[in-house]
Amino acid sequence: MRKISLIFIILPYSLILYAQVDMPLDTLYYQFERVKKICDKDNGKLWGKSLYGPILVIDKTSKLIVFNQLDMEGQLSLKGAVYVGKYPEEKIVASTATKFAGKSWVVISYPFNKKDTFQLYLTYIHESFHRIQGELGFNCEGYCNNHMDKMDGRIYLQLEWHALLEAIIAIGEDRNRAIRDALLFRQYRRQLFSGADTMESRFELHEGLADYTAYKLCCPSQSEIKDKIIERKLKYLDNEGSCVRSFGYYSGLLYAYLLDETGNLWQTKLKCGDDLGLLLQHLLKIDISNDTVNWFNQSKVRYPYMKIYKQEVGINNKKEKVLYDYRIRFTKNPVIIIDLLSAELGLYMSPHPLDTLGTV
């Protein structure tokens, strides 16, 4: 009988991992260096601290990771000029900031849009701000803005954005008038929903400051920031999607830009709990009338109120049908309730607040 000899070669885990890595390591190394240059150019001027630090890029399919530096627990292996490793299977992959292997990391999910490099570096810097946000005193989470899915909430938010965009374009008294309109639309909305002022402001600080920081560092001038902000309105204005988890990015960015235009070093005095709108009102000494009803009837003609109103009625009718179906599904039909000991959540679709029942 012929003997067959089998030779087993036990490869180190790192070598097996190398064979699986199909992300463009040279490109990622270039991106890490580019992010460092962007942060070094700012050199902590904006917030008093450099934003550059540990970065990891995760392949959403394989959970393989490429790092810009070594970890604290020896989980990574050097490959070329970068480090590689494996992300825990139980963790959700999303662009964010997270604790992993003894360090706080900026997380970027791969693959990304190769054509829109500007947006890519915005994401890098946005998440870099989140990584040190707590150290800067802006850990402003703990907000719930479900009222932004209500028709009135959405109408006055759209009007506020239109007025802020007009203020960004205008100069002198025209700018101040548009800012006053925006602040009054904002005040009127917040009077309709109890507690909205605190919740909205926390979200604007949490995500709006991160977006503002990204634009501030990635754009070479204030005029280019203005152009990018105006260009970005296509993503937010006339959008049928939920505003609950998105409005703070744009509102915070708009107010921060206008605060910069005052010439005041407002960032040095800002703290969690502040309101960007009230800060702008204070710096420009804008008086807001308490008679918001009369004011509204006079000023709404300067903006596309009827277009917004008709559009939001249509959106609300569609939404009510969706929510009605959800109520039947989760309160009338049979359901299975699973108690979660621990949850990792990722938002891949727009959340739908369902009254007091929770969020779908």
Tell me the mean pLDDT in the region 303-309.
95
The answer, as to whether pTM is greater than 0.75, is: yes
Tell me the mean pLDDT in the region 3-26.
53
**Per-residue model confidence (pLDDT) at position 340:** 74
Tell me the mean pLDDT in the region 39-52.
96
Tell me the mean pLDDT in the region 296-319.
92
Confidence of residue 112 (pLDDT cuts 50, 70, 90): confident
Task: Convert 294-314 into a string of H (helix), E (strand) and C (coil).
Answer: HHHHHHHHHCCHHHHHHHHHH
| Average predicted confidence (pLDDT) for the chain | 88
Percent over 90 (pLDDT), the chain = 65
Plot region of 101 (φ>0 → left; ψ -120 to 50 → alpha; else → beta): left
Task: Return the DSSP state at 123.
Answer: H
Rounded Cα–Cα distance for residues 115 and 111 (Å): 12
User: Of 50-59, 136-145, 310-319, 346-355, which gets the smallest average pLDDT?
Assistant: 346-355
Percent over 70 (pLDDT), the chain = 91
A 10 A CB-CB count for 246 gives 18
| Exposure string over 202-238, b if 16+ CB within 10 A, otherwise e | bbbbbbbbbbbbbbbbbbeeeeebbebbeebbeebee
Confidence of residue 295 (pLDDT cuts 50, 70, 90): confident
Query: 181 phi and psi, to 5 degrees?
Result: -60, -45
Is 17 a residue whose pLDDT tops 70?
no
Cα-to-chain-centroid distance, residue 326: 27
Parallel, antiparallel or unpaired: strands 103-110 and 55-59: parallel
Helix (H, G, I), strand (E, B) or coil at 19: helix
Q: Are 180 and 224 in contact (CB under 8 A)?
A: no
**Per-residue model confidence (pLDDT) at position 308:** 96
Confidence of residue 39 (pLDDT cuts 50, 70, 90): very high
Tell me which H or E stretch contains 105: strand 103-110
Confidence of residue 203 (pLDDT cuts 50, 70, 90): very high
Rounded Cα–Cα distance for residues 259 and 275 (Å): 12
∠ Cα 135 136 139 (to 5°): 80
Rounded Cα–Cα distance for residues 318 and 313 (Å): 9
Q: Read off the tokens for 104.
A: 């706080």
**Per-residue model confidence (pLDDT) at position 344:** 62
**Per-residue model confidence (pLDDT) at position 346:** 61
Q: Which residue type sits at 241?
A: G
SS3 content of the chain, % helix, strand, coil (to 5): 55, 10, 35
Tens of pLDDT, residue by residue over 252-269, are: 999 999 999 999 999 998
**Per-residue model confidence (pLDDT) at position 122:** 97
